[in-house]
Chain A
């Protein structure tokens, strides 16, 4: 099989959200405005679906011994199969990089023969790229669940980012849909990578030249909508992973129905809006000081689809609003819908010059079309109607809901 055909099969196989390959790394700009600020990588192109292309994203092989229900590459699917050699992956990576097509390599794989065999091949790729070819570009590896931890650990010394996919938000789901994978096979390496990262960071504080280990962190992903767990359970899981496993971030991937299987839900389309809401909520967990329990609870376990999670939170906590923009501290400003990290910081610094009037605020540029219902500026309220906690949700549904749908369109 020639290289072009392999590339075609193995990049095609890598793009599906529900498989070993998946990660949102190419979609990190998705959570809206602020997301871009945190993302310092370079996009080299944008594909026809509007996503940023920055890495050569491929599977090493799609020839899988497992049969995960949600996965396009499952063993029981009748598909054309292909495997690269390590040399081929190296050649593509180096030559694409030198032409400035890519920022680096994103290598994942189905499980060929057994987890160790597959992991060994991937290790050879990254080891040779770094040692023989002195490749300094970015490398993101997906560790193969169940592979020898020695192999995973060695690969980690060459990769910038390495992660194991969580796949499904509960053990039940895993047993039902991915019977080849065990929870321990996923959590053990995740834990190992997490503690190695901490260890290497500590060492590097002492000795500058101590070896790096996965310096860009790990970013596992999980599939949303293939199993029945509610958003509340998913966010609680992410929250605890952030606390325990030293994760960079979790990627949420709307389940794309690619297979027929009685264990899978029959949905016509991937739940993209839900995926988007989870990203927004996750963002609030990591950068806005929210906790999962503030956003959702047992009685209200799903994110609202009409309003973004912050707006929804504000509408459930109207007693603290409207907030005076010239008085509120940073943490409080951040809780106002339409005001993000950047605007909050700008407001604080512009306030030192003088008390802001509404005109000044406009120039600073928070999303006033949302914020105006929740603030006062020098004591005056600028919403289109009087502030009334009982009717605000109803009235805004009309206005904001529409704008949000519009952003939806441009996001996907």
Chain B
């Protein structure tokens, strides 16, 4: 079984796609270094990340298929689901042949898999746009910790750079130990492990006010905790100001 091994970056992945398209011997799996474990039957080919090749693939998907498809590929990549890379390869083969309408092949199995991965990522990203909570630190920075299922930090950073553009903030993915840091001009990603934080003097007052609002807005005789949890699964509660006190 032939494995293409790439460095785990999106560029690396697109380079692997490039190689896969132009190879006489296409891969049966595409796996990141981190996730690869050798076995008896595997032969491997190491993919060197190449900017030119990945740019070509990027532009080709956008121009020859559609921006929607490009976004689909990116979101699926962020899902980090098992075998998502090889599924994306098969999806792209089909898409280059059929064009943007491939996304309407609702009964095709590979398209279904891809669309379901996209949906998972975009749903969590959308949820987290609402559920991320910033706390103000002593140094005036707004700090937002989270532990999402998928690797959605870039999507969030882009969103908050537009929305909260005149304040310094950090979005911290604690499980991936990765943070987006914004300085009112631009944001960048950097590795960051969990650290002690010191809250600003004002912070507690606002958390308290928010908690008060949250408690008093609910209508007792319509209580429905099941629906609450369905919309706001418990796995996200840990970092919610209104839920962890």
Contact = CB atoms under 8 A, between A and B. Distances in A.
Given A48-B225, A57-B217, A410 B230 contact: yes
Nearest to A49: B222
A340 to B, nearest CB: 14
Interface in A1-25: 3-4, 7-8, 11-12, 14-16
Contacts of A350: 104-107
Contact of B213 (A42, A52, A56): A56
Contacts of A353: 104-105, 107
B217 A53 contact: yes
B134 A50 contact: no
Interface of A: 3-4, 7-8, 11-12, 14-16, 42-54, 56-57, 92, 95-96, 98-101, 103, 134, 256, 346, 349-350, 352-353, 356, 359-360, 363-365, 410-412
B226 A3 contact: no
Contacts of B107: 350, 353, 356, 359-360, 363-364
Contacts of B132: 100
Given A50-B224, A363-B107, A412-B224, 12 more contacts: A7-B209, A42-B126, A45-B131, A45-B240, A48-B224, A49-B219, A96-B206, A98-B142, A99-B142, A99-B241, A100-B130, A101-B210
B236 to A, nearest CB: 10
A363 B227 CA distance: 27
A48 B216 contact: no
6 closest residue pairs by CB, A with B: A50-B227, A50-B224, A47-B218, A48-B218, A349-B104, A360-B107
Contacts of B221: 256
B69 to A, nearest CB: 15
B167 interface: yes
Contacts of A412: 222, 224, 227
A53 B214 contact: yes
A30 to B, nearest CB: 11
B130 A15 contact: no
A410 B227 contact: yes
Interface in B106-122: 106-107, 112
B60 interface: no
Interface string B195-219: 0000000000010111011101111
Contacts of A49: 218-220, 222-224, 227-228
A12 B230 contact: no
A14 B218 CA distance: 10
Nearest to A29: B231
A100 B212 contact: no
A54 B130 contact: yes
Contacts of A43: 127, 130, 231
Contact of B216 (A15, A92, A346, A410): A15
A355 B177 CA distance: 50
29 contacts: A4-B208, A7-B216, A8-B212, A16-B219, A43-B127, A47-B217, A47-B218, A48-B218, A48-B224, A49-B224, A50-B222, A50-B227, A50-B231, A51-B219, A52-B231, A96-B209, A98-B167, A99-B142, A100-B130, A100-B134, A101-B133, A256-B221, A349-B106, A350-B104, A350-B105, A363-B107, A365-B106, A410-B230, A412-B222
Contacts of A48: 218, 223-225, 228
